[in-house]
Amino acid sequence: GDELRFRYDTDYSEDAEGHIKIVPDLWINGRRREVDFDNWPLAESPVMTLKDGILRIDQGGERVVADWSGELPRVKRR
pLDDT tens digits for range 23-70: 888 999 999 998 887 787 888 999 999 998 899 999 999 999 999 988
Phi-psi region of 47 (alpha: psi -120 to 50; beta: other; left: phi over 0): alpha
pTM: 0.56
Residues 32 and 51 in one domain: no
Residues 49 and 32 in one domain: no
Arithmetic mean of pLDDT, 13-31 = 86
At 17 the pLDDT is 85
Q: What are the Cα distances from residue 48, in Å, to 33, 57, 60, 65?
A: 24, 4, 12, 10
Residues 20 and 8 in one domain: yes
Residues 34 and 56 in one domain: no
Residues 47 and 72 in one domain: yes
| Full residue range of the structural domain in which residue 61 is found | 41-77
Residue 13, pLDDT above cutoff 80: no
Residues 34 and 8 in one domain: yes
Query: What pairs with residue 33 in β-bridges?
Result: 26
